[in-house]
Amino acid sequence: MSLRLRPVLRILQGTHNKHFSTATKVKDEQASQLCSFRTIENNPTHHNMNYIGKLYKVPLDIQQQLFQIGGFPKQFVIQANTFQEYAIMVRQPAVEIISYLTQADYTRPVNKYVIYGKHGTGKSITLAHILHYAFVQKYIIVHLMWGYHWFHNMKEVANSVLSPGCMDLPIDAGFWLKQFKVQNLNLLTQLDLRTSKDYTWNQHEMTSQGTPILGMIEFGMSRVKYACGVVDALLKELKLASTAGKCKTLVAIDGFNAFTSEETDIRDDNKVSVPPKKVTLAIPFLDITKGGDWCNGAVVLTVDKIATFTNGESHLPRYLLGKEGFEHLDPFLPVQVDEYNSAEFDSMIEYYKERKWIRSITPEGQKELELITNKNPLTLMKQCSFL
C-alpha cells in the first residue's frame, strides 16, 4: 500500500500483545458468539449455505494434529499465530464440495474435484476446510501440502534403488511419511490396517504380509533410502483397503499441476531434467489420482499458476494441467474459487477490527481498500499486514 493511501484509510495498527489475560480471552469468546461475521459452529459437517461469509475457529486439538506440519499458506500461518487462532471463512466452494462428498456413492470409482481460480483467491484455505471435514468424518487423509516443492525445492535426489531408470527423493519421502503418520495416527491405530502381501526392500529387509501399516511407515521413516518405495506400497495398500470397505480415503493435493508439468529442477546423472512420471515419489500419487481402479474415497486437488513455470495468464484447469494432465484426471468436477464478494469482504474487515489488527477505518477508507485489493483475499491480507 502506498504512503498516500494510508492516511485516507486511517488504519492504525498496534503491536499485538501475545499474552492476553484470561478475563480478556473469556470476554472475547463471549463477544465473538454475537458477531455477525463469526460462527461458533466449528464442525464442517454442519456448514451449509447459511454459514457463507462467517469465520469459524479450527479447534486446537485438530489444528495440532491435522495441520501440525503444514497445510496453510505461510502468510496465513503468520497471521493466525499473531491472532492466536486459526480462523477459516466458510465459503461457497468448500460448502459445495463438502455437500458432494456427503452425497457421493462410495461404491463407485472415486469422484475427482479440481479447485481452481486466480492466485490468492483462497484455494489452499478451501482445501484446508475440506481436510477438516474429512478429518471429522474419519477419512484416511493422503495430503500433499504443495506439489511444487517436490520438483523444485527437493531436499535430495538419488538414483532409485527399487525402480531403475527413475529418481528418488528420499528425504522428502521420509518427511511426507511423518506427516501422514501425524495426521492419521489415531485412525490408523483404531482401524489396525495391515499389509496384504510381502514387500522386499533388499536381501535382508522386508515387510511381511500382515504387518501393521504403521510398522511399514515407521520403517520408511527410519530407512529413508527406501522411503519412496514405502510411499508407493502405502498408497497401493490404501486403495485396496478402501475398496474392501475397511476405510475411506481422501486424497488432497495442493498445486497438482506441478505433477503434470515437464519442467522440473530434478536432474539425472547426465544433467537432463527428469519429468514427474520418472520420479518415484510422484508415481504413486499420479496412480492414486487416476482413480478408476479404486472406490470408497475421493480426490480433491487444486491447480495454480505458481505451482509451475507457466508464463501464460490463464488460471483454467485445461491450460494449467496440459492435455496429458487433463486427460489423466478426466472426468472431474471443476470448482472455481473467486475473490471475496461484498459480504465476505466486509466480514474479513470486521474480523481484522475485532482482532485489533485494524484499529479504525472510515467507510471511505474501507471502500478504497476494497478497490485497490479488488477483494482478493491474499492482496487484502498483504495490504493489512504489519508495517
pLDDT in tens, 116-144: 999 999 999 999 999 999 999 999 999 99
**Average pLDDT in the 14-38 region?**
51
Residue type, 117: G
Between 31 and 269, residue with greater pLDDT: 269
Beta strands in 108-234 (DSSP E): 111-116, 140-144, 158-159, 167-168, 199-200, 206-207
Query: In this model, does residue 324 exceed pLDDT 50?
Result: yes
Of 195, 122, 160, the C-alpha closest to 283 is 160
Beta strands in 198-245 (DSSP E): 199-200, 206-207
pLDDT score of 251: 98
Structure-block grid coordinates of residue 373:
485489493
Query: In this model, does residue 8 exceed pLDDT 90?
Result: no
**Average pLDDT in the 183-190 region?**
94
Longest C-alpha distance within the chain, in Å? 73
**Average pLDDT in the 372-386 region?**
92
Give domain limits for the chain: 105-336, 342-384
Count of CB atoms situated within 10 Å of the CB of 217: 22
Q: What is the tens place of the pLDDT at every residue in 137-164?
A: 999 999 999 999 999 999 999 999 899 9
Q: Is 64 exposed, middle or buried (0-12, 13-18, 19+ CB in 10 A)?
A: exposed
Alpha-carbon distance of 242 to 201, in angstroms, equals 25
* Residue 72: strand, helix, or coil: coil
pTM over 0.85: yes
Bond from prior residue into 317 cis (ω within 30 degrees of 0): no
Kindly tell me the number of DSSP H helices and DSSP E strands found in the chain.
15, 11
Which range (113-122, 278-287, 353-362, 372-381) has the least confidence?
353-362
Alpha-carbon distance of 43 to 57, in angstroms, equals 9
Q: State the number of CA atoms in the 13 A half-sphere of 283 facing the CB.
A: 21
3-state secondary structure 114-133: EEECCCCCCHHHHHHHHHHH
Fold classification of 105-336 (topology level): Rossmann fold (3.40.50)
- Residue 318, H or E segment: helix 317-329
